[in-house]
Amino acid sequence: MENKVYVFDTTLRDGEQVPGCQLNTVEKIQVAKQLEALGVDIIEAGFPISSPGDFNSVIEISKAVTWPTICALTRAVEKDIDVAADALKFAKHKRIHTGIGTSDSHIKYKFNSTREEIIERAVKAVKYARRFVDDVEFYAEDAGRTENEYLARVIEAVIKAGATVVNIPDTTGYCLPSEYGAKIKYLVDHVDGIDKAIISTHCHNDLGMATANTMAGLLNGARQCEVTINGIGERAGNTSLEEIAMILKCHKDIDLMTNINTQKIYPTSRMVSSLMNMPVQPNKAVVGKNAFAHSSGIHQDGVLKNVQTYEIMNPKDVGIDDNAIVLTARSGRAALKHRLHVLGVELDGEKLDNVYQEFLKLADKKKEVNDDDILMLAGADRALTHSIKLDFLQVTSGLGTRPVASIGLDIAGEKFEAAASGNGPVDAAIKALKVIIRREMTLKEFTIQSINKGSDDVGKVHMQVEFDGNMYYGFGANTDIVTASVEAYIDCINKFRK
């Protein structure tokens, strides 16, 4: 059996389904190009029938990247497949990913169908997709809870129908590693023609077992893994790309390899986290802020004597650059451009000038500007397209006074001003905002995060605001956390469906 593991990245499909993580097409292209540089074999670029935005993104990503196969998701429905084939028309290498639920609960409750009928629908969809492309992947949704004998029948039928890859998702993240590994082995041992297709893992992390399950699948014969950057994805997320890539790199005893250029892992992680406004937990394996930080005395002593005492991988191997140049107010445009390049963002001309001007303003407020700040600035131009913008904000607050805020908004070129008092400075500022924007909207979630330890740091604010029965997610970043909060609220309002 071949020892190459194909890396199928679904950050832009399964990952992007996370509420608040939606990217626009330009941002998706940026991520797709970074995934290409990282060395992924297949990019799942979207679910074209689900929205015009997804359809367009698949088209634009297909034009923008060269080497990876571009994959589009469908249900086992002809119309979905027609639209996916159309969206893939510019892809140099293309794949349609079609499938249907195979567990008894999906068959009964989702489809009100029978096992035999599901096999027929699966076969029909694969044959239909093969009319458009040579590379068709079939997913057996909820395969994790599908009885192995029936799953083997489904997989055998779709391979006969022309599936080139068979995906065995643990959709609910329920399987134990031993169980998932045994499932893959069962298919290897019992499916006629299994050698004509690649078996793929697709594991969710509901019980924290996604990486272990993926490894169990690979050790038992799967040769494709479906993963996301930082493990983002529905609910508790998907298997994280960086964990699988580094397990296979560190474990020389396992004779499996990927095409991943591991030194691009960290910049890719930062880029995805920044564009999706999705912080990476500090203790996240491989890419978390503390992944290589040794704090206990015993560990520090050991590492100083020989790093191998407590470090199983070199931070440089995942692209963490200890000697990264720290940018300050004296850094030039070229240094900023270089740092952005290292982080996977290519900027030139007017765009670079704009980011540089913002960088200088921030560097005036903060002594040292770090990678997260830079990525935040590079992404800040998203707010330029907003029709509602914050013009000014003044807040007085302190012990023994009731906070008061006055705010100025620019709404499609027209200026508005208002003032209000509140329980705290953020409350006062949002009340003032609501004097101008008179809508029934409710703040549902509000988190403030700083990146470094310094009191001069940029505060990042994530908010969820409910309006007209829908939830909207907004983001703001500023060294002034009251301003960052108001920017996050305004970001939500700009997304309201008119």
The residues binding Zn ion (CB under 5 A) are 14
Q: Which helix (H) or strand (E) holds 269?
A: helix 265-275
Query: Are 257 and 4 a contacting pair, CB within 8 Å?
Result: yes
Binds 141, which of ligand KIV, Zn ion, none (CB < 5 to 8 A, cut-off by type)?
A: ligand KIV
- Residues in 195-224 that interact with ligand KIV by CB under 6 A: 202, 204
Q: Which one of 18-26, 166-174, 429-437, 454-462 is the stretch in contact with ligand KIV (CB under 6 A)?
A: 166-174
Report, in Å, the least distance between residue 38 CB and ligand KIV. 21
Which tokens belong to 207? Answer: 């019980």
Chain position carrying tokens 């006062």: 428
Residue among 93 and 145 whose Cβ is closer to ligand KIV = 145
Q: What is the rounded distance in angstroms from the CA atom of residue 12 to the CA atom of residue 57?
A: 9
Nearer to ligand KIV, 128 or 472 (CB): 128
Using rule CB under 6 A, residue 80 touches ligand KIV: no
For the bound state, the minimum distance from the C-beta of residue 202 to ligand KIV, rounded and expressed in Å, comes to 5
CB of 163 to ligand KIV, least distance (A): 13
Q: How far is the CB of 100 from Zn ion (least distance, A)?
A: 14
Residue 33, helix vs strand vs coil: helix
Strands 459-467 and 441-450: antiparallel
What are the residues whose beta carbons fall under 8 Å from the beta carbon of 475, sequence distance 6 or more?
Answer: 277, 460, 461, 462, 463, 487, 488, 491
Q: Which neighbouring-strand residues pair with 227?
A: 9
Stretch that binds ligand KIV, among 60-68, 163-171, 251-259, 475-483 (CB under 6 A): 163-171
Q: Which stretch binds ligand KIV (CB under 6 A): 59-67, 108-116, 167-175, 402-410?
A: 167-175
Q: Counting contacts by CB under 6 A, is residue 171 touching ligand KIV?
A: yes
Strands (E), 82-235: 94-101, 136-141, 165-170, 198-203, 224-227
Among 15, 68, 162, 169, binds ligand KIV (CB under 6 A): 169
Q: Which is nearer to ligand KIV, 276 or 347 (CB)?
A: 276
Q: Count the alpha carbons within 13 Å of 443 in the hemisphere toward its beta carbon.
A: 19
Answer yes or no whether residue 139 interacts with ligand KIV by CB under 6 A. yes
Kindly state the DSSP code that residue 349 receives in the 8-state scheme.
H
Residue 50: partners with Cβ closer than 8 Å, 6 or more residues away? none
Reference 9, options 33, 37, 36, 44; nearest CA is: 44
135 touching ligand KIV, by CB under 6 A: no
State the alpha helices, DSSP H only, in 276-424.
297-305, 333-342, 349-365, 371-379
Q: Which of 72, 75, 76 is nearest to 85 (CA)?
A: 72
**What residue 422 binds from ligand KIV, Zn ion, none (CB within 5 to 8 A, per partner kind)?**
none
Nearer to ligand KIV, 142 or 372 (CB): 142
Shortest separation between residue 98's beta carbon and Zn ion, angstroms: 14
Give the nearest distance from C-beta 204 to ligand KIV in angstroms. 6
Total chain residues near ligand KIV (CB under 6 A): 8
**Using the rule CB under 6 A, is 379 a contact of ligand KIV?**
no
State the Cα angle at 363 between 358 and 365, rounded to 5°: 105
| Residue that is written with structure tokens 């832009």 in the block | 12
Kindly state whether residue 284 participates in binding ligand KIV, applying the rule CB under 6 A. Answer: no
| Cα 469 from Cα 474, distance rounded (Å) | 16
Site for ligand KIV in 4-43 (CB under 6 A): 14
Q: Residue 102 binds which entry of Zn ion, ligand KIV, none, with Cβ cut-offs from 5 to 8 Å by kind? A: none
List the single partner that 139 binds among ligand KIV, Zn ion, none, CB under 5 to 8 Å by kind.
Answer: ligand KIV
In this complex, which beta carbon is closest to ligand KIV, that of residue 57 or of residue 370? 57
Nearer Cβ to Zn ion (125/481): 125
Please name the residues in contact with 124: beta carbons below 8 A apart, sequence gap of 6 or more.
76
Q: Could you tell me the smallest distance in angstroms from the CB atom of residue 141 to ligand KIV? A: 4
CB of 233 to Zn ion, least distance (A): 6
Q: Provide the minimum distance between the beta carbon of 393 and ligand KIV in the complex, in angstroms, as a whole number.
A: 42
Kindly state the smallest distance separating residue 164's Cβ from ligand KIV, in Å. 15
Report which residue's Cβ sits closest to Zn ion: 14
Stretch that binds ligand KIV, among 24-32, 164-172, 354-362, 456-464 (CB under 6 A): 164-172
* Residue 234 Cβ vs ligand KIV, minimum distance, rounded to whole Å: 7
472 contacts ligand KIV (rule: CB under 6 A): no
What is the CA angle 89-90-92, rounded to 5? 110
Of 85, 233, 203, nearest to 142 (Cα)? Answer: 203
Nearer to Zn ion by Cβ, of 218 and 407: the residue is 218
The torsion region of residue 439 among left (phi > 0), alpha (psi -120 to 50) and beta comes to beta
> From CA 395, how far away is CA 399, in angstroms rounded?
14
Residues found near ligand KIV in the complex (CB under 6 A): 14, 139, 141, 167, 169, 171, 202, 204
